[in-house]
Structure 1
Amino acid sequence: MPDRERIDSIRRDRDAFDAALLALGSRAKGKSASCPWHDDQDPSASILESADGAWRLHCHVCNRSGDVFDLREQGGGAPIADQLRALNDEPRRDRMSAPTPPMVFSTLTEITASLAGIGRIEDRFEYTNPATLVVGLVVYRIQPADGKKTFRQASPCAGGWRLEAPPKPWPLYNRARVLAAGRVVVVEGEKCVHALHSLGIVATTSPCGAGKAEHADWSPLSGKDVILWPDHDDPGAKHMADVQRMLDALPNPPRLSIVDPVTLGLAAKGDAADLILTFGGDRLQASNVVNEFIEDARPLGASGDVERLLEDAIAGRRKVIPWPWPMLTALSRSLLPGTVTVLCGDPGCGKSFFLLEAAAAWHSMGESVALLEMEEDRAYHLRRVLAQQAHKGALFDEAWTAGHPAEVRELFARHRSFLDEFGRKIFDCPKAMTMAEVATWVENRAAAGARLIIVDPLTAAITGEKSWSDDHNFMLRAKDAAKKFGASVLLAIHPKKGNKGRTLGLDDIAGGAAYQRLAQSILWLESHSVPKSVMIDGRHVEVNRSIAILKARNGPGHGARIGFSFEGHALRFAERGIIERSRVTSADSVRKHHGHSPWDDEDKFDPKARAGGDE
C-alpha cells in the first residue's frame, strides 16, 4: 500500500496544489477558481482546506471536486492509482523530501500525445529566449469535444519536460521581435499576437491569461512606446490595468496608451484577433483600420490625463453647462464635467425654487437632469415647476386656484407636456434615506447618463453617530461618480444651526469640513427681508436675494457677490448685477470678508465689473 503519511503531505502542500491548478489553465484568484471539469465562463469553484489540512477544489455548478492528485490526472498525468503506486515505489529517503513534482516527459512529443486525451490541440505557442534560442515555455491551446477551450503549460526540466509553468517571473511572448521594435502592442493571448503579426504589427502577451500580469517579466518593454489592447470584458480591462501598474513600476517605464475596445464595435469578450477576422482576407483594409485604432489609442500617464482634458475641451465634450444666469456662469464656471457644487442657504431663502428653475432650463436645453427631492413628493415640486413655467406664482396658492378654475386648467393644459417630460427627471423619497443610500442614487444616475444631478437638500439625509465620516464618504463617492461619468453634482445644504443671518463663511456650512474641502464650487444664497436699492448703470434697482461665490476652483469669481430679485409673482430669479467692492488683502481675507455685512453704503452693482474676490 502507498505510504499514507507521504500522500497526506502532498495533499496538504499548497504549492503542489496551485501548480496542478495552473497547469490546467484554471483562472484562480483568492479562494475562487474556474472549474477545469466543465465550460466555466466565470469562476464557480472554491479552493477549500479540509479538516485534515488537504487542499481541494469544489465546483458549485457541476458539483465535482478533487485534490492535487485529481487535478494532475485531469491535466493529462497518470491515473491516481498509478500516481500513488509511484509514490510507494520511491526509496524511503526520497519520501521524506519535498513533494513529488509532476511527471517528467522525455520530449514534447510525449506531452502532446498525453494531451490528446483532453481534446484537439489547436495551437502550440513556444516562448523562446532570444539570447539562447532555448524554449522556456510552451502553451497548448486545446479544444475539448464537449467543452470550452482550455490551456496547458509545459516547461523544461532535468530529464525532459513537465506539464507546468516555469518558475516565476514568466517570460513575455515574441521577445525577439519585441526587443527589436520601438512600438509594441500588448494583448491578451498568443492568438492575438499572431493576428497582429500577420499585419506587420509587433505585439506580445504574458502567459496564463488575465489576472496573472504580476507573474511576468515586463522589462523587455522598458523605454518603448506601448499600446495596451484589452479584451472587451471586465476581466480584460482589469488585466490591462494590472499590466499598466507593472509597466509604470519599471525603472525606465514605457510611454503608454490604450485602445478603447468599446469603439471597435465587437461583441462582449471580443479581441484584436476577432476584429481582424471581420475583414475576411482583405489584409490591406484590416491593416488600415487596425493601425488607425492604434494611432487613436488614448495616452495614459500624467501627460495623457492633461491631453485628454485639452482634447475634450477642443472637441466640445468638456464644457461648462450654463446656469440660466450669465454672470453666475461666467464667474463660477461651476458646472464642468466631474465637479461637485454646494448651494448653501437658510431655510426659506429660495434654494429649491432656484434649483428647480435651473433644472427646468437645463432640461429645455436638452441636458440630462436628475433631481432627488428629499422633502415633499414629486407632485409638490412639479406644481412649483408649473407656476414657474407659467410665470404665475398664484398657482401655488390654494385660495387663488379655487377661485380661478378656468385659468388654472388652461395653464395646466398648456404646460402639461413639459410636466410629463420633466417629471420623469424628479425622484422623491417615500422613506428617509441614509447618506450611503443617497450616494448610491447619485452613482446610479451618473451611470445612467445624467449630466446634472441635484440633491435637495442633502442635509435631510440620515447620518450615523460619526456624521463627519458619513459626510466625507458621501463626498468621495459623489466626486468619484462625477469624474467617472462626466457629470456635475449639485448639493443643497443648510447652514449650521444657530447661524441664520449671522455670517457667510465656509465654516458655517452644515456637515463639517468635507464639503468645503472636496467641493469645487460653493455658492451661498442669501435672502434679504428688506430689499436693497442699488445703482446699476446709473439707475436704482431693488434686489432681495444675493449669491456669494465662496469658492470657485474653476472660475474667476471667488469672493464675488451677485444681486438677484426673486419675483414672487413668477417664483423665478432675475439676475441684476455684481457687487463692486475693494479687494481685501489680509491673510485671512476670505473669512473676514465673508463675516462682514454685505450691504455697506459703498456697495454698488455693476453688471460689467470684474469680480473683485480675494485670492
Structure 2
Amino acid sequence: MPPPGWRPGQGRKSRNTGHDTTGVAPRLRRRFHLFILRHAQPVEQARRGRKAVAILSRLRVAAERALLARRRRGGRRMTLDMVKASRDSLIVELTAAGARVTGSAVRCPFHKDRNASGSVYQDNGSSTWLYRCHGCEWSNGRNAGDVVAVVMARDGLTFPQALERLGVDGQSATGNGGKLWEGPERFGEWLAGKENGRFAGSWFYQDRDGRTVLAVIRVDGADGKKAYRPLHPAGDGWKVGDPPGKLPLYRLRDIGDAGRVVVVEGERCVDAARSIGLTATTSAHGAKSAHKSDWTPLAGRGVVILPDADETGARYARDVAAILTRLTPPATVRILPLPGLAPGSGDDIADYIEQADGKTCEEIAGGIWELADALAPWTPPPDPGPDAGDSTDNAPPTDSMPDPGPPWYSIGDVFKLGDYARGMPAISTGYGTLDALLGGGIRPQTVTIMAGRTGSAKSTLALNMTRHIATAGESVLFLKLEERIIEAVWRMHAAAADVPMRVFLGGVANTNGETRTKLTDGWRFLTDLPLRFSDVRPLDGIDRVVRQHAQAGGRVVFIDQLSHITVEGADFGYATASLISNRLRRLAVETNTAIVVVVQVNREASKHKVELTCNDLRDSGQLENDAAAVILINKIREPDGPVYGGTPTPLYLQLLIGKARYGRQTPAGSYLELLWWPRTCRIDPKPENADDAERRGEGVPL
C-alpha cells in the first residue's frame, strides 16, 4: 500500500520521498509515481540507506533521459552532436552511475571518491561537455570523456550500444550499411566518437572532369592508431566505401600537362610537396593499394617517386614503378630515396622539408630535381611471360613478377660490402683492463649489457664511461630513464670536478673558494664534450632519438636502464624485455652505433651474494643472446687498510665479463677491479701497484 497522503501526479515534488521531478513531462511524471507506488514498501524500508538513494536516482534518470531523448528540434530526434552538447545529458548519466554532482564538482562514480575529484566542463573549441576525474583513469585508460564515454564505462557497452541507450537516432548507432551521410565530415565526427578519438581531416579525389568521386577521412584513435575510411557520393548524400571501378589519382586535375610529376605516399605528403612548388600526386588507400588506382594519366611522362624511409615505402615505390613502366606509352621513372632520412624511420618528404632549415622552397625543389636527374631511369624486371597481361594492365606486381634472385650472397658479393674492408673498430671505455677483456672496447653495431645488484654503482660506472668516451672525441647520447637528467649531470660534474656529491644536493650557489674553482673548471671541461642527454621512455621514441643521434654523427648510446623502457599496450615482463632487446640490437646495426644498456639482476641473485653469471640477468634470457658483451658488477669490496694517506678511502668494484664475442671471459674465480670513490661519484682504473699500496698504507697517485 502507498504511504498515507500520497497521490499520483500530486505535484512536482513527492510529499513522501521529497524527490524532485521538475522538468519531467506530465506523462513521464505519472509513470514515475506509479513506479514509486509499486516499490513503495522497499523504498520505505530502506529510506535512510543507499538502496533508497539508488532507486530514486535511477527513477529520475530514467525519466529525464526519456525526456531528453524525445525532445524535438526542427522535427528531428536528437543527434549525437546535440547529446554531446547537452550538459543535462552528461549530468543525468553521471548521476545514473552513482555520482554526486554539485555545480561543476563531481564525486567520481568510478572509484571511491570522498573529495569530489571530478568536474564537468565544456571543451575548448567545441560545444561538447566533458567529465574529467583527477583521481582515476575511468575512460579506457584516460581520465576524461564525453557523455557517450560515461555510458560505455558505466554499463560496459560498445559505442553503438551506448548511442542506443542514450536514445540517439537509431541510424546513427549503426553508422554503415546503406546509410547516407550528410558529408564526409559528419561521418568522420561519428567515427571519432565511436573510436573515442579525434577527427583529423578529409581529402577529396576528383575525376578528369573535376567531379568529386571519392573522399578519404582520417580519425586518430585514443591508442595512437590512425583509422582511414573512404566515402563516395550517392544520391543526396555520401555512402561509406569506394565508388565502382578504378580510383582517380589525388590532385589529378592539378597535374595538367606537366612534363614531370612527383609521386609520394599519402595525401599529406602530396600537400607537403605542393607547398614547395612540386607537381605531386598519390594513390588512395596507402602503400598496399597502388593497383586500385588508374595511373594512365601519367603515361609518357617523367615521374620521380620519393619513397618513405622504410621497407613499406620502398615496396610502394617498386609497385608504382612497375605499373607506370607498363603503360602505353610507358612513363620514365626514377626512384629517389631522399637524403638525410634515417633508414627504417618512416620519415617522408614532409620531414625532409622540415629538416631543410634556411632553404627556400625553390632551393629545396631544385635540389630534388637535381638529385633525380643524376639517377638512371628505373628498369623493370624481364617480362614474366604471355600470361602476365597486356601493357595497359594496372595489376599489382605480386606473384606474376619474376623472383628477384636467390636470397644469399656469394663470396664475391661479401667482398664488395662496405663493412668488409671498413671493419668494426672498437671504442675504448676509458678502462684499459676492461678494454683488454672486451677485445679492445665496445663496438658499433653491437649491444653491451652492464648488469649488477641494486646499489652496485651501475649508473655511476655508465656515467664515467660516458665521460671517458666523450673526452676521446666520440659523440655520446645518454638516455637517463631511472632518475632526472639533472641528477645524472650532477654525478658527472662531481666526478669531473672531484667534489663531493653533497655540494650539488646543497646547491652550488652556496659554494665558494676552492670548491667554486673546481666546479667552474669541471663545468668548462664538460661543456666542451660532445654529450647529449634524453629521458624519452617509449621504445618508438628511443628509436627515433637514436637515429637522429646517429644522423648527427654519434656512434655511442647509453641507456639507463632497460626496465624503464615502455612499449605501448604492453606491461614490462619477459616478452616485453625480449622485444626491447631484439629491437635495440637491430637499431644498433641499422645506425652503426654501440649501445650500452644498464639492467638489473634477478631477485634471487640479489638475495644471495654468490658470483654473478649471465643466467642472473633479470626479465629475459634474450638479453644475453642479443648482446655482444655482458659486464657484470659482481660485488663491492672494501680495502683491507687505509689507502692514499688519509684521504677518503675508495671502494673496489669487482667486475666479471660474462660474455665477450670479440674478447674473452674472465676465468672462474678471477675478476678485474676498478676504484670507486662514492663521495665524488668517480670510478678510476686500478693502478697496477694498488694492492701493495693497500697493504703498506701508502698513497698511490692516480
TM-score (norm 2): 0.41
Return the structure number with greater strand share.
1
Question: Which one scores higher on RCO, CA 8 angstroms, separation ≥ 6?
Answer: 1
TM-score of the two chains, using structure 1 as the length reference: 0.46
